[in-house]
Structure 1
Protein backbone atom coordinates (compact mmCIF):
# COMPACT_ATOMS: atom_id res chain seq x y z
CA UNK A 1 0.00 0.00 0.00
CA UNK A 2 2.90 2.35 0.73
CA UNK A 3 4.21 1.78 -2.80
CA UNK A 4 0.84 2.77 -4.23
CA UNK A 5 0.79 5.88 -2.04
CA UNK A 6 4.31 6.77 -3.20
CA UNK A 7 3.29 6.33 -6.84
CA UNK A 8 0.22 8.50 -6.26
CA UNK A 9 2.38 11.16 -4.61
CA UNK A 10 4.82 11.14 -7.52
CA UNK A 11 2.01 11.32 -10.05
CA UNK A 12 0.28 14.14 -8.22
CA UNK A 13 3.55 16.04 -7.95
CA UNK A 14 4.05 15.75 -11.72
CA UNK A 15 0.55 17.03 -12.40
CA UNK A 16 0.74 19.84 -9.87
CA UNK A 17 4.11 21.08 -11.15
CA UNK A 18 3.01 20.92 -14.78
CA UNK A 19 5.75 18.47 -15.72
CA UNK A 20 4.84 17.11 -19.14
CA UNK A 21 5.87 17.24 -22.74
CA UNK A 22 3.15 19.72 -23.65
CA UNK A 23 3.84 21.41 -26.95
CA UNK A 24 0.94 23.84 -26.59
CA UNK A 25 -1.41 21.89 -28.85
CA UNK A 26 -4.69 20.42 -27.73
CA UNK A 27 -5.31 16.69 -28.01
CA UNK A 28 -7.54 17.21 -31.04
CA UNK A 29 -4.89 19.35 -32.76
CA UNK A 30 -2.30 16.63 -32.19
CA UNK A 31 -4.71 14.10 -33.68
CA UNK A 32 -5.06 16.26 -36.79
CA UNK A 33 -8.22 18.17 -35.87
CA UNK A 34 -8.56 21.92 -35.73
CA UNK A 35 -9.18 22.01 -32.01
CA UNK A 36 -12.36 23.95 -32.65
CA UNK A 37 -15.96 22.88 -32.59
CA UNK A 38 -18.31 22.17 -35.42
CA UNK A 39 -15.94 20.05 -37.52
CA UNK A 40 -18.31 17.10 -37.29
CA UNK A 41 -21.92 16.90 -36.25
CA UNK A 42 -22.50 15.50 -32.79
CA UNK A 43 -23.76 11.95 -32.52
CA UNK A 44 -27.47 11.70 -31.83
CA UNK A 45 -26.88 9.63 -28.69
CA UNK A 46 -25.05 6.64 -27.34
CA UNK A 47 -24.85 3.62 -29.61
CA UNK A 48 -25.81 1.27 -26.80
CA UNK A 49 -27.18 1.55 -23.28
CA UNK A 50 -24.49 2.74 -20.90
CA UNK A 51 -22.16 3.93 -23.68
CA UNK A 52 -22.54 7.51 -22.44
CA UNK A 53 -20.96 6.68 -19.08
CA UNK A 54 -24.39 6.02 -17.55
CA UNK A 55 -25.59 2.64 -16.48
CA UNK A 56 -27.83 0.22 -18.11
CA UNK A 57 -28.22 -1.55 -14.75
CA UNK A 58 -25.44 -3.90 -15.83
CA UNK A 59 -22.21 -4.59 -14.03
CA UNK A 60 -20.04 -2.32 -16.16
CA UNK A 61 -19.44 0.47 -13.66
CA UNK A 62 -21.94 2.96 -15.07
CA UNK A 63 -23.95 5.48 -13.09
CA UNK A 64 -27.68 5.16 -13.96
CA UNK A 65 -27.47 7.99 -16.49
CA UNK A 66 -25.78 10.53 -14.20
CA UNK A 67 -23.04 12.30 -16.14
CA UNK A 68 -19.63 12.52 -14.49
CA UNK A 69 -18.47 16.11 -14.08
CA UNK A 70 -14.77 17.03 -14.37
CA UNK A 71 -14.81 18.17 -10.72
CA UNK A 72 -15.79 14.61 -9.70
CA UNK A 73 -12.51 13.31 -11.15
CA UNK A 74 -10.18 15.89 -9.54
CA UNK A 75 -7.74 14.48 -6.99
CA UNK A 76 -5.49 11.48 -6.42
CA UNK A 77 -6.77 7.95 -7.11
CA UNK A 78 -5.24 4.50 -6.64
CA UNK A 79 -6.20 1.06 -7.85
CA UNK A 80 -5.02 -2.40 -8.80
CA UNK A 81 -5.65 -4.08 -12.15
CA UNK A 82 -4.48 -7.65 -12.75
CA UNK A 83 -2.50 -7.47 -9.50
CA UNK A 84 -0.54 -4.39 -10.60
CA UNK A 85 -0.81 -1.06 -8.74
CA UNK A 86 -2.03 2.05 -10.54
CA UNK A 87 -2.21 5.69 -9.58
CA UNK A 88 -3.99 8.54 -11.27
CA UNK A 89 -3.88 12.22 -10.38
CA UNK A 90 -6.09 14.85 -12.01
CA UNK A 91 -6.02 18.60 -11.43
CA UNK A 92 -7.27 21.50 -13.54
CA UNK A 93 -7.90 19.27 -16.55
CA UNK A 94 -4.39 17.79 -16.52
CA UNK A 95 -3.81 14.13 -15.68
CA UNK A 96 -0.94 11.78 -14.92
CA UNK A 97 -1.22 8.00 -14.75
CA UNK A 98 1.38 5.62 -13.35
CA UNK A 99 0.69 2.07 -14.56
CA UNK A 100 2.86 -0.99 -15.15
CA UNK A 101 6.07 1.02 -15.07
CA UNK A 102 4.79 3.64 -17.49
CA UNK A 103 4.25 7.32 -16.75
CA UNK A 104 1.52 8.83 -18.91
CA UNK A 105 0.47 12.49 -18.97
CA UNK A 106 -2.28 14.33 -20.75
CA UNK A 107 -5.71 15.87 -20.43
CA UNK A 108 -9.16 15.20 -19.03
CA UNK A 109 -11.76 16.62 -21.42
CA UNK A 110 -15.49 16.45 -22.03
CA UNK A 111 -16.25 15.09 -25.50
CA UNK A 112 -19.87 14.23 -24.75
CA UNK A 113 -18.39 11.75 -22.30
CA UNK A 114 -15.53 12.55 -19.97
CA UNK A 115 -12.32 11.27 -21.59
CA UNK A 116 -8.68 10.89 -20.63
CA UNK A 117 -6.28 11.49 -23.52
CA UNK A 118 -2.76 10.52 -22.45
CA UNK A 119 0.68 10.07 -23.95
CA UNK A 120 3.02 7.58 -22.28
CA UNK A 121 6.74 8.33 -21.98
CA UNK A 122 7.65 4.76 -22.92
CA UNK A 123 5.46 4.83 -26.03
CA UNK A 124 2.92 2.31 -24.73
CA UNK A 125 -0.56 2.66 -26.22
CA UNK A 126 -2.74 0.49 -23.94
CA UNK A 127 -3.87 3.39 -21.74
CA UNK A 128 -3.87 6.45 -23.97
CA UNK A 129 -7.59 7.13 -24.58
CA UNK A 130 -10.27 6.19 -22.08
CA UNK A 131 -13.82 6.97 -21.02
CA UNK A 132 -14.15 8.07 -17.38
CA UNK A 133 -17.07 7.57 -14.98
CA UNK A 134 -17.37 8.12 -11.22
CA UNK A 135 -19.98 6.18 -9.22
CA UNK A 136 -20.28 4.90 -5.67
CA UNK A 137 -16.93 6.42 -4.69
CA UNK A 138 -15.05 4.67 -7.50
CA UNK A 139 -13.56 6.06 -10.69
CA UNK A 140 -13.65 3.71 -13.67
CA UNK A 141 -11.68 4.19 -16.88
CA UNK A 142 -12.50 2.00 -19.86
CA UNK A 143 -9.53 2.32 -22.21
CA UNK A 144 -9.83 2.01 -26.00
CA UNK A 145 -7.25 -0.79 -25.75
CA UNK A 146 -9.83 -2.92 -23.88
CA UNK A 147 -8.48 -2.55 -20.34
CA UNK A 148 -10.84 -1.45 -17.56
CA UNK A 149 -9.25 0.18 -14.49
CA UNK A 150 -11.11 0.92 -11.26
CA UNK A 151 -9.70 3.45 -8.78
CA UNK A 152 -10.60 4.65 -5.29
CA UNK A 153 -9.86 8.18 -4.17
CA UNK A 154 -6.89 8.68 -1.86
CA UNK A 155 -8.34 9.56 1.56
CA UNK A 156 -8.98 13.27 1.77
CA UNK A 157 -7.33 13.77 -1.60
CA UNK A 158 -4.06 14.52 0.22
CA UNK A 159 -0.56 13.34 -0.44
CA UNK A 160 1.28 11.20 2.10
CA UNK A 161 3.56 13.13 4.45
CA UNK A 162 6.15 10.34 4.72
CA UNK A 163 7.46 8.10 1.97
CA UNK A 164 9.14 5.37 4.01
CA UNK A 165 9.61 3.05 1.03
CA UNK A 166 12.06 5.53 -0.50
CA UNK A 167 14.69 4.30 1.97
CA UNK A 168 14.85 1.13 -0.13
CA UNK A 169 16.22 3.19 -3.03
CA UNK A 170 19.60 3.92 -1.41
CA UNK A 171 21.52 2.72 -4.47
CA UNK A 172 20.29 5.64 -6.61
CA UNK A 173 22.95 8.22 -7.51
CA UNK A 174 22.94 11.38 -5.41
CA UNK A 175 21.41 14.38 -7.18
CA UNK A 176 23.62 17.45 -6.79
CA UNK A 177 21.42 19.95 -8.61
CA UNK A 178 24.04 20.56 -11.29
CA UNK A 179 23.97 19.54 -14.94
CA UNK A 180 25.17 16.11 -15.95
Structure 2
Protein backbone atom coordinates (compact mmCIF):
# COMPACT_ATOMS: atom_id res chain seq x y z
CA UNK A 1 0.00 0.00 0.00
CA UNK A 2 2.85 2.35 0.86
CA UNK A 3 4.45 1.81 -2.58
CA UNK A 4 1.12 2.49 -4.28
CA UNK A 5 0.71 5.86 -2.51
CA UNK A 6 4.31 6.88 -3.32
CA UNK A 7 3.76 5.87 -6.96
CA UNK A 8 0.52 7.88 -7.09
CA UNK A 9 2.28 11.00 -5.77
CA UNK A 10 5.10 10.51 -8.29
CA UNK A 11 2.58 10.19 -11.15
CA UNK A 12 0.72 13.35 -10.09
CA UNK A 13 4.01 15.21 -9.61
CA UNK A 14 5.31 14.32 -13.06
CA UNK A 15 2.07 15.11 -14.88
CA UNK A 16 1.64 18.54 -13.30
CA UNK A 17 2.59 21.40 -15.59
CA UNK A 18 4.35 24.50 -14.42
CA UNK A 19 3.02 27.92 -15.34
CA UNK A 20 4.52 29.84 -18.23
CA UNK A 21 4.11 33.17 -16.41
CA UNK A 22 4.92 33.24 -12.70
CA UNK A 23 4.43 35.89 -10.02
CA UNK A 24 5.82 35.90 -6.50
CA UNK A 25 6.32 38.26 -3.59
CA UNK A 26 9.52 38.69 -1.61
CA UNK A 27 7.78 37.53 1.61
CA UNK A 28 4.62 35.66 2.60
CA UNK A 29 3.59 38.08 5.35
CA UNK A 30 3.87 41.85 5.79
CA UNK A 31 2.96 44.53 8.32
CA UNK A 32 0.88 47.61 7.52
CA UNK A 33 3.20 50.19 5.96
CA UNK A 34 5.65 47.60 4.56
CA UNK A 35 6.74 47.62 0.93
CA UNK A 36 5.64 44.55 -1.03
CA UNK A 37 7.78 43.64 -4.04
CA UNK A 38 6.13 41.50 -6.72
CA UNK A 39 8.36 39.76 -9.29
CA UNK A 40 7.03 38.42 -12.61
CA UNK A 41 9.04 36.10 -14.84
CA UNK A 42 8.51 33.82 -17.82
CA UNK A 43 9.45 30.13 -18.08
CA UNK A 44 10.85 29.61 -21.59
CA UNK A 45 10.93 25.81 -21.21
CA UNK A 46 7.19 25.65 -20.50
CA UNK A 47 6.46 28.04 -23.37
CA UNK A 48 8.58 25.94 -25.71
CA UNK A 49 6.66 22.74 -24.96
CA UNK A 50 7.44 20.03 -27.51
CA UNK A 51 8.81 22.45 -30.13
CA UNK A 52 12.47 21.92 -30.98
CA UNK A 53 13.32 25.60 -31.43
CA UNK A 54 13.58 27.93 -28.45
CA UNK A 55 10.99 30.72 -28.64
CA UNK A 56 12.32 34.26 -28.42
CA UNK A 57 9.98 36.67 -26.65
CA UNK A 58 9.38 39.91 -28.50
CA UNK A 59 6.81 41.40 -26.16
CA UNK A 60 4.04 40.90 -23.65
CA UNK A 61 0.78 42.43 -22.50
CA UNK A 62 -0.41 41.68 -18.98
CA UNK A 63 -3.24 42.67 -16.70
CA UNK A 64 -2.33 42.78 -13.02
CA UNK A 65 -5.08 42.90 -10.41
CA UNK A 66 -4.34 44.01 -6.84
CA UNK A 67 -6.64 44.63 -3.87
CA UNK A 68 -6.79 48.44 -4.03
CA UNK A 69 -8.36 48.75 -0.58
CA UNK A 70 -5.32 47.07 1.03
CA UNK A 71 -2.51 47.90 -1.42
CA UNK A 72 -1.25 51.09 -3.03
CA UNK A 73 1.03 51.00 -6.08
CA UNK A 74 4.29 52.91 -5.51
CA UNK A 75 4.47 55.25 -8.53
CA UNK A 76 7.57 54.75 -10.64
CA UNK A 77 8.60 51.53 -8.89
CA UNK A 78 8.22 49.23 -11.89
CA UNK A 79 11.54 47.87 -13.16
CA UNK A 80 11.48 46.01 -16.49
CA UNK A 81 13.91 43.17 -17.12
CA UNK A 82 16.67 43.65 -19.67
CA UNK A 83 16.02 40.56 -21.86
CA UNK A 84 13.83 42.45 -24.36
CA UNK A 85 16.70 44.84 -25.11
CA UNK A 86 17.48 48.39 -24.13
CA UNK A 87 15.22 49.80 -26.87
CA UNK A 88 12.10 48.00 -25.64
CA UNK A 89 9.03 50.20 -25.37
CA UNK A 90 7.57 49.49 -21.92
CA UNK A 91 4.75 51.00 -19.88
CA UNK A 92 2.46 50.52 -16.89
CA UNK A 93 -1.02 51.99 -17.33
CA UNK A 94 -3.66 52.14 -14.58
CA UNK A 95 -6.86 50.73 -16.12
CA UNK A 96 -9.25 50.81 -13.18
CA UNK A 97 -9.50 50.49 -9.42
CA UNK A 98 -6.63 48.09 -8.61
CA UNK A 99 -6.14 46.98 -12.25
CA UNK A 100 -2.98 47.75 -14.21
CA UNK A 101 -2.00 47.03 -17.82
CA UNK A 102 1.71 46.29 -18.19
CA UNK A 103 3.20 46.13 -21.67
CA UNK A 104 6.57 45.81 -23.31
CA UNK A 105 7.68 45.33 -26.92
CA UNK A 106 11.15 44.81 -28.41
CA UNK A 107 12.07 46.37 -31.74
CA UNK A 108 15.63 45.08 -32.22
CA UNK A 109 16.90 41.58 -32.97
CA UNK A 110 19.11 41.78 -29.84
CA UNK A 111 16.55 39.50 -28.14
CA UNK A 112 18.18 36.55 -29.93
CA UNK A 113 21.47 37.27 -28.17
CA UNK A 114 19.94 38.28 -24.83
CA UNK A 115 17.60 35.28 -24.53
CA UNK A 116 19.74 32.56 -26.15
CA UNK A 117 19.96 29.47 -23.96
CA UNK A 118 17.85 30.88 -21.12
CA UNK A 119 15.28 28.70 -19.37
CA UNK A 120 13.53 31.66 -17.71
CA UNK A 121 13.96 35.37 -17.17
CA UNK A 122 12.38 38.25 -15.24
CA UNK A 123 9.89 40.37 -17.15
CA UNK A 124 9.43 43.05 -14.47
CA UNK A 125 9.13 43.77 -10.76
CA UNK A 126 7.03 46.41 -9.01
CA UNK A 127 6.28 47.61 -5.50
CA UNK A 128 3.15 48.25 -3.47
CA UNK A 129 2.64 49.62 0.04
CA UNK A 130 0.43 47.69 2.47
CA UNK A 131 -2.39 50.00 3.61
CA UNK A 132 -4.46 47.78 5.89
CA UNK A 133 -4.44 44.29 7.33
CA UNK A 134 -5.87 41.47 5.22
CA UNK A 135 -5.46 37.73 5.71
CA UNK A 136 -5.56 36.74 2.02
CA UNK A 137 -4.25 39.58 -0.15
CA UNK A 138 -3.79 38.60 -3.77
CA UNK A 139 -2.00 39.62 -6.93
CA UNK A 140 -3.74 38.12 -9.96
CA UNK A 141 -2.14 38.17 -13.41
CA UNK A 142 -3.36 37.32 -16.89
CA UNK A 143 -0.80 37.39 -19.65
CA UNK A 144 -0.24 37.12 -23.35
CA UNK A 145 3.18 37.01 -25.03
CA UNK A 146 4.32 37.31 -28.62
CA UNK A 147 7.38 35.81 -30.22
CA UNK A 148 9.82 38.24 -31.82
CA UNK A 149 8.49 39.52 -35.13
CA UNK A 150 4.87 38.63 -34.32
CA UNK A 151 2.44 41.33 -33.29
CA UNK A 152 -0.24 38.88 -32.22
CA UNK A 153 -0.11 38.02 -28.56
CA UNK A 154 -0.98 34.47 -27.58
CA UNK A 155 -2.74 33.99 -24.23
CA UNK A 156 -0.33 31.89 -22.23
CA UNK A 157 -1.45 31.62 -18.65
CA UNK A 158 -2.91 33.14 -15.59
CA UNK A 159 -0.98 33.29 -12.36
CA UNK A 160 -1.56 34.52 -8.84
CA UNK A 161 0.17 34.70 -5.51
CA UNK A 162 -1.27 35.14 -2.02
CA UNK A 163 0.16 36.88 1.01
CA UNK A 164 -1.09 38.42 4.24
CA UNK A 165 -0.78 41.87 5.77
CA UNK A 166 -0.87 42.05 9.56
CA UNK A 167 -1.80 45.05 11.66
CA UNK A 168 1.37 46.62 12.99
CA UNK A 169 1.63 45.76 16.66
CA UNK A 170 3.23 48.07 19.18
CA UNK A 171 4.65 46.10 22.10
CA UNK A 172 3.03 46.91 25.42
CA UNK A 173 5.40 47.94 28.22
CA UNK A 174 5.96 45.20 30.76
CA UNK A 175 4.32 45.40 34.16
CA UNK A 176 7.70 45.47 35.91
CA UNK A 177 8.80 48.59 34.03
CA UNK A 178 5.52 50.34 34.86
CA UNK A 179 5.91 49.41 38.57
CA UNK A 180 9.48 50.78 38.64
CA UNK A 181 8.33 54.04 37.03
CA UNK A 182 5.56 54.36 39.62
CA UNK A 183 8.03 53.77 42.49
CA UNK A 184 10.45 56.31 41.02
CA UNK A 185 7.63 58.86 40.71
CA UNK A 186 6.58 58.35 44.36
CA UNK A 187 10.19 58.69 45.52
CA UNK A 188 10.65 61.95 43.62
CA UNK A 189 7.40 63.37 45.05
CA UNK A 190 8.48 62.49 48.64
CA UNK A 191 11.85 64.19 48.17
CA UNK A 192 10.10 67.32 46.86
CA UNK A 193 7.63 67.26 49.77
CA UNK A 194 10.42 67.23 52.39
CA UNK A 195 12.06 70.37 51.00
* Pairwise TM-score range, normalised by the shorter structure: under 0.3
Higher helix fraction: Structure 1 or Structure 2?
2
1 or 2 for the larger relative contact order (CA 8 Å, sep ≥6)? 2
Higher strand fraction: Structure 1 or Structure 2?
2
Query: TM-score by structure 1 length?
Result: 0.24
